Amino acid sequence: MIVASKKPIEEIIQSVQGSKRLLIVGCNECVTVCEAGGKKEVGILASALRMYFMNQGKEMTIDEVTLERQCDKEYLEEIKHMVPNYDTILSLACGVGVQFMAEMYKDKPVLPGVNTTFMGATLERGVWGERCAGCGQCILAKTAAVCPVARCAKRLFNGPCGGSTKGKCEINPNTDCAWQLIIDRLKALGRLDDYDELMPIKDWSKDRAGGPRIVVREDIRL
């Protein structure tokens, strides 16, 4: 899932200061799972903002709605009839949702309510970890399903580096060394010989280095 974290309420208060009619829009997908921008978080934020502005004596309408997704036009269209009633939209979706909302409702200021952070998984209740960097050319088959692009601080393809100590990365004693994980797993799979194979230079043009990316599927395109 795309993992995001809530923005501090002070920052949100600051960004919606000029609004008189605010619509807070949640997303039922990734940000619901990582508890940053789902229906519940929309309710909590709306309640907190209402209290803040009431306390300030400022008249402000704050309403809530949560969409199935904000990265598909069909779902964004569901609030077409509501949008004209508001002067600002605060989207608790990931950066994709915020931008797609702004592309659809061109004359409406759309503000972000979360900090979109990475593609990751739930490690335990309340803890999420990065697993994929969307580099555009997956090499997990060669690295025993541990990604050095997302999980090695240096994105090394032939690791580990000299900063790996007792299985941890030199940047943080709590961060696992991705290459230690790769070696451990290759060993467990009886494929340690694969480690001797040198990895070729990666084509980074398929990553962000190639500029904004687009996927076109002519076979399904209408």
Partner 1 sequence: MQYPPTIRIIRVPCTGKVDLLHILRCFEKGADGVYVVGCMEGDCRFKTGNLRAKKRVYQAKEILEKVGVGGDRVEMFNLSSGEGPKFAQIATEMTQRIKALGPNPIKGKLIKKAA
How many of the other CB atoms lie within 10 Å of CB of 132? 16
Q: Which of 52, 75, 118, 204 binds partner 1 (CB under 8 A)?
A: 52
Q: Give yes or no for residue 122 binding partner 1 (CB under 8 A).
A: no
12 vs 94, beta carbon nearer partner 1 = 12
54 vs 189, beta carbon nearer partner 1 = 54
Q: Give yes or no for residue 35 binding partner 1 (CB under 8 A).
A: no
| b/e 201-214 (16+ beta carbons within 10 angstroms → b) | ebeeeebeeeeeee
**Phi-psi region at 56: left, alpha or beta (left = phi > 0; alpha = psi -120 to 50):** alpha
Among 47-55, 105-113, 159-167, 199-207, the segment contacting partner 1 (CB under 8 A): 47-55
The CA distance from 200 to 198, in Å, is: 6
The CA distance from 71 to 112, in Å, is: 14
Q: Which of 17, 47, 85, 158 binds partner 1 (CB under 8 A)?
A: 47
| Distance from chain centroid for Cα 172 | 22
Q: Give yes or no for residue 124 binding partner 1 (CB under 8 A).
A: no
Length of the chain: 222
Among 15-23, 43-51, 106-114, 128-136, the segment contacting partner 1 (CB under 8 A): 43-51
Number of chain positions touching partner 1 (CB under 8 A): 20
Nearest-approach distance from CB 21 to partner 1, in angstroms: 11
Yes or no: say if 58 and 20 are a contact pair by the CB < 8 Å rule. no
47 vs 158, beta carbon nearer partner 1 = 47
Which residues of the shown chain bind partner 1 in the complex (CB under 8 A)? 9-10, 40, 43-44, 47-52, 54-57, 59-61, 63-64
